[in-house]
Amino acid sequence: MKFSAIAVFSAITGMVAATPQYRPTTTYPTVSNPWAPGYSSPVQPTGPKVTCLTTDTANTLIKGFASLLTNYNNATAGALLASDFTDTSDSINQLAGYPIGSTTFPSKQAFQLGQGSQPKIDFTVLSVDEVTCTNVAFRWSAGVGKKLFPIKGINSFVASNLNGTDQGWQLKTMYSEFNSLGWFLNVGGQIIPPSS
C-alpha cells in the first residue's frame, strides 16, 4: 500500500482532503424565478408555485403600504414595490397640482421621491373588501394635519409576484381616491363656496 501525501495528511489531522473544484464549462442564466431552468438559490421554494394572493399575503401588502404612509422607510418601499410600480390618484393629483387624469407616480422611483418626503399621517384600515387572485380593494381612514376631519378613502391594487412564493408578492399598480377636500382643509387650505 502506497501512502500519498494527502492520505498521510488526512491520517495525521483527521481532515478529509477537499474534493477538487472544477470550473463549470456551462454558463448558467441569471434568473430569479425558481421554476425557470438553471435556477439555483440557497433559498429553495417549498410547496407548489404560488399564483394567487391569500388573505394573509394581501394583508401583509396592505400593512406594508400603510407603513409607507405612517412611517416611511425607503428600504421597505424598495422591497414592497414592484420595479414597474405605478400609483394613480386624482385626489393626490388635485392636491399636488399634477394634471388631472395623469399617473400620479409613474414609477417606483417617483413614488419613493414623492412619498418619502411627505409628512407622516395616521392610517387605519377600516375594511379589506375584496381579495382576488392578484387584486385587492380596501377602505381606510386617515388622520391628517390638523385632523379637523377624518379622511376616508378607497384603494384598489394589483399585486405581482417576483418568484412564485408567498414572500415574493409586491405592489404593482395602486389606485387611490379619498376625501381630498377634507385633506386640503386639514392642512390649512381655505375654500370659498360658490355663490348661490
Ligand X SMILES: *[C@@H]1O[C@H](CO)[C@@H](O)[C@H](O)[C@H]1NC(C)=O
**Stretch (H or E) spanning 173:** strand 169-178
Among 31, 34, 121, 150, binds ligand X (CB under 6 A): 34
Q: Does 74 bind ligand X (CB under 6 A)?
A: yes
Q: Does 145 bind ligand X (CB under 6 A)?
A: no
Please, what is the minimum distance in Å from the beta carbon of residue 188 to ligand X?
27
Cβ nearer to ligand X, comparing 34 with 143: 34
Among 43, 100, 133, 191, binds ligand X (CB under 6 A): 43
| CA 115 distance to own-chain centroid | 14
Residues touching ligand X: how many (CB under 6 A)? 14
Q: Does 45 bind ligand X (CB under 6 A)?
A: yes
Cβ nearer to ligand X, comparing 103 with 165: 165
Give the Cα separation of 136 and 129 in Å (integer).
8
Only segment of 10-18, 40-48, 50-58, 93-101 that touches ligand X (CB under 6 A) = 40-48
Q: Does 135 bind ligand X (CB under 6 A)?
A: no
Residue corresponding to grid cell 417576483: 162
Q: Using CB under 6 A, which residues numbered 166 to 185 contact ligand X?
A: 167-168
Q: What's the chain's Rg over C-alpha atoms?
A: 26
Which of 4, 7, 115, 30 has its CA nearest to residue 64?
A: 115
SS3 182: helix
The pattern of x and - marking residues 146 through 165 that bind ligand X according to CB under 6 A reads: ----------------xx-x
Cβ nearer to ligand X, comparing 85 with 140: 85
Q: Where are the alpha helices (DSSP H) in the chain?
A: 5-13, 55-70, 74-80, 90-96, 108-116, 180-186
| Alpha carbon distances (Å) from 72 to 36, 66, 112, 132 | 34, 9, 9, 27
Residues that bind ligand X (CB under 6 A): 34, 41, 43, 45, 74, 78, 109, 112, 116, 162-163, 165, 167-168
